């Protein structure tokens, strides 16, 4: 499937960051009419293992396994082999070039997404970790290496996507977490954008959890987000057409 053919109901990946399998199933049943893509992270995977993944897939929905594999290369390769033939769409890998290479070698039809910089970190956090450059520069450097290695895309805050598209082009997937409504209370995410901003900046998918799950009127919120995505994609398409037009 080409990027411009991704169905609207799969553009939002709903994060099932909940403590129990029962709550995860209840969430899927509640939203599956409008959202067809779900993220299973470390918390839920440990609670439900592959059973919850298979339950979601059996409902004709897509699954993104977000375990951020980070270990010695051979271990990462063996871990990816465990999930590559289960019908899972995306998986995340976090690490250096050798770790990413190992994941790519084992991926099969699974799409490997390289984590650039977690959206819970800001520039001050990177300085504490020993980085002397900007968040944007770290994201671009890591994304460039990941794509050269053969990863299918990256996890990146929507804030950094314009720089990625400018320098690396369009032929890779960008999944943007840390998406929040315009009015948002403080939480553990620091580098955030709205749904519309993420797609205007060049994201292909967004990952959203609490803002949808905890919304007073989630159906209306999803409808609004879908409308924003459609508008942003149309605007982005118009911009691309404008760039390709030359006066004679």
Q: How far apart are CA 93 and CA 115, in angstroms?
A: 6
Q: Report the alpha-carbon distance of residue 11 to residue 36 in Å, rounded.
A: 9
The pTM of this model reads 0.86
What is residue 139's predicted lDDT score, i.e. its pLDDT?
A: 74
Is 68 marked active-site? yes
Query: Which residues make Cβ contacts (< 8 Å) with residue 203, sequence separation at least 6?
Result: 156, 158, 161, 174, 175, 176
Domains of the chain in start order, with CATH, are: 7-243 (3.20.20.70)
Long-range own/partner contacts, residues 3-10 (CB < 8 A, 24 or more apart): 3/170, 3/173, 3/204, 4/233, 4/237, 6/204, 6/205, 7/36, 8/226, 8/229, 8/230, 9/34, 9/35, 9/36, 9/37, 9/226, 10/36, 10/37, 10/62, 10/205
Residues 215/159, Cβ–Cβ less than 8 Å: no
- pLDDT of 61 reads 98
3, 34, 68, 111: the catalytic one is: 68
If the chain, 248 residues long, is cut into consecutive pieces of 10 residues, what is the mean pLDDT of each piece? 83 96 98 98 95 98 95 96 95 92 95 75 46 64 91 89 90 86 48 83 94 94 96 84 51
């Amino acid at each position: 499937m080409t990027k411009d053919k991704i169905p609207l109901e799969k553009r939002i990946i709903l994060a099932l960051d909940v403590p129990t399998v029962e709550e995860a199933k209840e969430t899927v049943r509640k939203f599956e009419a409008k959202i067809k893509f779900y993220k299973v992270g470390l918390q839920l995977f440990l609670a439900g293992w592959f059973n919850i993944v298979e339950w979601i897939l059996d409902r004709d929905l897509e699954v993104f396994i977000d375990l951020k594999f980070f270990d010695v290369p051979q271990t990462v390769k063996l871990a990816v082999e465990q999930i590559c033939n289960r019908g899972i769409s995306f998986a995340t890998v976090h690490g250096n070039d050798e770790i990413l290479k190992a994941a790519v070698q084992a991926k099969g039809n699974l799409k490997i997404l390289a984590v650039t910089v977690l959206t819970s970190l800001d520039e001050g956090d990177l300085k504490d970790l020993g980085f002397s450059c900007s968040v944007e520069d770290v994201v671009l450097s890591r994304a460039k290496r990941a794509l050269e290695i053969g990863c299918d895309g990256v996890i990146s805050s929507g804030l950094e996507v314009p720089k990625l598209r400018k320098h690396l082009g369009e032929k890779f997937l960008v999944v943007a977490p840390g998406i929040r409504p315009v009015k948002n209370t403080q939480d553990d995410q620091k580098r955030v954008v709205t749904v519309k901003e993420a797609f205007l900046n060049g994201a292909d998918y967004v990952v959203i959890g609490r803002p949808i799950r905890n919304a007073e009127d989630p159906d209306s919120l999803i409808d609004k987000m879908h409308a924003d995505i459609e508008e942003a994609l149309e605007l982005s398409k118009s911009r691309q057409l404008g760039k390709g037009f030359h006066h004679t």
